[in-house]
Chains A and B, each alone.
Chain A
Amino acid sequence: MSNLTLSNLVKTYGQTEVLHSIDLAIEAGEFVVLVGPSGCGKSTTLRLIAGLEDVSSGTIEIAGRVVNNLEPKDRDIAMVFQNYAIYPHMSVRKNIGFGLRSSSMSRADKDKRIDDVAEILGMTDLLSRKPSQLSGGQRQRVAIGRAMVRDPAVFLFDEPLSNLDAQLRTQMRLEIKKLHQRVGATIVFVTHDQVEAMTMADRIVIMKDGHIQQIGTPSEVYHKPANAFVARFIGSPSMNMIPAVAENGGLRIDGGAAVPIGLDIAENRKVTLGIRPEDLHPVEGPALISGAVNVREPLGHETLIYVGAGFGDVIAKADGRTPPDLGGMVNLGAELENIHVFDAENGSALT
C-alpha cells in the first residue's frame, strides 16, 4: 500500500500555476528524492505535503487518509529544514523533545524516546549542550532527531545538506541513508544536487517548471532518460548533446560521420544525439567526432578533454596516464548502445 499519494496536485499563486497536475505514489519505507533546478516546484511540492501551503486543487493522501484540510501537526509528518531550524535557546534534549510537547505520552516515555533517538544518532553525550556548542553536522543530526522522535508516517527533508561543507555533506548523506535502512522510514527528500539524488534515492522524481519529467530508480534515469532535460540533468559532467539528422535509414551528425542507428523516423528529421562523457573516448580508426583538444582537466585516474567539434565543444574521458596532447587532433568514438537519441524539437527520447 502506498504511504503517500499525490493526485492531480495543482498549486497556483494568483494567476500563476507553479505546479501542474502532479501525480506521485510513494510506497511505505521508500526513499524518494525530488530533484530539479531552482524554481522547478520541488520545494513547493514538499511544503504542500507538509501543509505549510494550501493546495489549489487535487488531493494529498498520507497513510490512507486525505490530509488536504488538516493542520501540519495532524498530518503525521515531520520535516527537516535547510537551516536546521533548531532553537538556539534550548538544549539538544529540549530541541529533540520539542516535537513531543503536544503528545499525550507520559514524561518517562518521552524521555525514553528522546534517549533512544539520541542513541541512534550517537548524540547521547551531547543532550545537555546548546546548539551553539555543536558543529554543523551535529546540528543537522539534532534536526533529524527532532523529526525521528515523532515517529511520523512520512519524513520530509528540504535540502538539509546544502548548508554543510562538501566533506560533511558526503558523510551526512551516508548517515541519512544508513538511518533509512535502519528505521525503514518513508522519506521524501528535496535537493537540487543530482549526486545526492543518485546516491540516496530508491526512486528519483525529476522536476522542471512544475512538471514531473521522469520517475525512476537512479539506474533508470541514468541509463534510460525520458527526455533530453533528464539526460543532461543527471550525470556529471552533463551528457553531450550533438545535433544530427535522419539520413538513409540511419543518422548523420551535422557535418560529420554517419551513425548506423536504425530508427523508424522520417528522412531529414532533426534529432539530438546524447552521449555521456564517460561513454565517449579517443579511438583509433573511424571517428564519430573529431577535433582539437581545447582544454584538459586531469582528475587523476582519468582526464576530461574538451574537444572542439563543428557544433561546439564535447566532453570526453581519456586515460589519466596518457591523455591526448593539448591542441592535438583526436578521434572520438562511442558504443552504439550508449548513444541516446532525442527529438530535436521537444526533447523526448526516441531510443
Chain B
Amino acid sequence: MATAEDIRASSDTLFEAKAARRKANTAQYIRWALLFIGGILMVMPIVYMISTSLKWPHEIYDVSLIPKEPHLENYTFVLEDGRFYGWFLNSLIIAVITTISNVLFDSLVGYTLCKFTFPGRYIVFIAILSTLMIPTEMLVIPWYLMSQSFGWLDTHWGIMFPGLMTAFGTFLMKQFFETVPDDFIEAARIDGLNELQIWWTVAMPLVTPALAALAIFVFLGNWTAFIWPLIVTNSWDMYTLPVGLSTFADEADVAWELVMTGAAISTIPTLIVFLIFQRYIIRGVVMAGLKG
C-alpha cells in the first residue's frame, strides 16, 4: 500500500523528470536558434542574388531585399544575348567531362593504391598527396606555357586538362576503398572475375556514397572555376559562365543586376546535380550500416 512517504517520493521524481525535460528543451531551443542563424547566413546571399536580379539598375545599391518594381527584363536581356548559351554550354561540357573523368580515374588509382601491394606504392601515394600542397595560382603559369606549346590555348581541352584527375579525389577514393573488406575482392577473384571487373562490379558499387560526394565536389569546382578558364581562353565563344558573367563588369561600371541574373541561372545545374547525387549519399549511408 502506498504511504504518504511513497507519494511524496514519487512526486519528487516527477518534478525532477519535468525539470530535466525543461533543461533538455532549453538546450534544444538554443540549438535551433544557432541553426536558424546559420541557415539565414547561408541563404542570404542566394536571396540577395535573386532579389538583385529582379531590380532596375538605379535600385542596385538600395540594400532592401524586396525590389520596389520587380521585373524580369534582366532575364530576358541575358537569355536573349546569344553568348550566354555558349558560355552555359562550355561550362556544362567542362564540368560533365571532368566529373566523369574524376569519378573513373581517381577511383581507379585510389583502388590500386589501396588494394594492391607493389614496390613503391607508398612513395607514389605520398607523391600524389604532396601535390595538394601546391596552390593553383602557382601552377597557372606552367599550365599556360604548357597549353601554349601543345596548342591547347582557347580550347575546351585546355580549360579542363588540369582538372581531369585530382589528388584530393584519389585520396578520398583510396580512403573509401579501405572500407571495402578484402574478402569481397578475394571472393570475386575465386569466382573468376579479372581485376578490372572486380573494380567495376564489386568495389565501385560499394563506394557509391564516396563517388556521389566526389561527383558533387568536382562538378561544383569546375562549374564555378574562374581563374584558369579566364587565363586560358581568349575568345568570347570559349568563355565559361563565370568568365562570361565577369564581362558584364568593365572599368567604368558593373552591371550587377545582369551579373546576378546570370549567376541565378547558373545555379540551376548545380542544384540539379546536387539533388541527383544527394540521393546516393543518403542511400550510401543506409547501406554502410549493414554487415557483410
* A52 contacts B186, C-beta separation under 8 Å: yes
Residue numbers in A under 8 Å from B193 (CB-CB): 73, 101-102
| A99 contacts B186, C-beta separation under 8 Å | no
The contact size tier of chain B is 10 to 19
Main secondary structure of the interface of B (DSSP, over half): helix
Whether the Cβ atoms of B192 and A99 lie closer than 8 Å is: yes
Query: Would you call B173 an interface residue if the criterion is a C-beta within 8 Å of the partner chain's C-beta atoms?
Result: no
Q: Does A77 contact B (CB under 8 A)?
A: yes
Given A78-B190, A81-B183, A139 contacting B292 (CB threshold 8 A): yes
A77 to B192, CA, bound (A): 11
Whether A84 contacts B189 by the Cβ 8 Å rule is no
Mask: chain A, 138-152; 1 = CB below 8 Å from B; 0 = not: 010000001000100
Residues on the A chain within 8 Å of B210, using CB: none
B291/A83 in contact, CB under 8 A: yes
User: Which residue in chain A gives the minimum CB-CB distance to B184?
Assistant: A85
Query: Is the Cβ of A89 less than 8 Å from the Cβ of B206?
Result: yes
**B202 interface residue (CB < 8 Å to A):** yes
- Find out whether the CB atom of A73 lies under 8 angstroms from the CB atom of B190: yes
> Interface readout for A145-188 with B: 1 if CB under 8 Å, 0 if not?
01000100000000000010000000000000000000000000
- Most B Cβ at <10 Å: residue of A51, A71, A84, A85: A85
How does the 8 Å CB contact mask read for B200-215 relative to A, with 1 for contact and 0 for none?
A: 0010011010000000
How close is B121's CB to chain A, nearest CB, in angstroms? 16
B190 with A79: CB separation less than 8 A: yes
Q: Is B72 an interface residue (CB 8 A)?
A: no
Q: Do residues B190 and A83 form an inter-chain contact, with CB atoms below 8 A?
A: no
CB neighbours of B187 from chain A (8 A): 79, 81, 85, 146
A128 at the interface (CB under 8 A from B): no
Q: Is the CB of A73 within 8 A of B206?
A: no
Decide: B183 and A89 in contact? CB cutoff 8 A: no
Contact partner, B189, options A73, A150, A163, Cβ 8 Å? A73
A-B pairs with beta carbons under 8 A, tally: 71
Q: Point out the residues of chain A lying under 8 angstroms from B184, CB to CB.
A: 85, 87
Chain B CB within 8 A of A222 CB: no
A73 with B292, Cβ < 8 A, contacts A85-B181, A132-B287 known? no
Q: How far is the CB of A140 from chain B (nearest CB, A)?
A: 9
Q: Does B191 contact A (CB under 8 A)?
A: yes
> Cβ of B7 < 8 Å from any Cβ of A?
no
- Are A88 and B206 in touch, CB under 8 angstroms? yes
Number of A residues near B (Cβ < 8 Å) is 29
B188–chain A nearest beta-carbon distance, Å: 8
**A241 at the binding interface (Cβ < 8 Å):** no
Q: In the complex, which residue of chain B has the Cβ closest to the Cβ of A158? A: B183
Q: A92-109 toward B: CB 8 Å interface, digit per residue (1/0)?
A: 000000110110000000
Measured CA separation A89–B284 after assembly (Å): 10
B186, B205, B208 — most chain A CB neighbours (10 Å) = B186
| B123 is an interface residue with CB less than 8 A from chain A | no
Q: Is the CB of A50 within 8 A of B190?
A: yes
- Bitwise, B251-292 to A at CB < 8 A (1) or not (0) is 000000000000000000000000000000000000100111
Are the C-beta atoms of A131 and B192 separated by less than 8 Å?
Answer: no
17 interchain pairs (CB within 8 A)? Answer: A50-B190, A51-B190, A72-B186, A72-B189, A72-B190, A73-B189, A77-B190, A79-B186, A84-B183, A85-B181, A88-B290, A98-B191, A101-B193, A102-B191, A102-B192, A131-B292, A146-B187
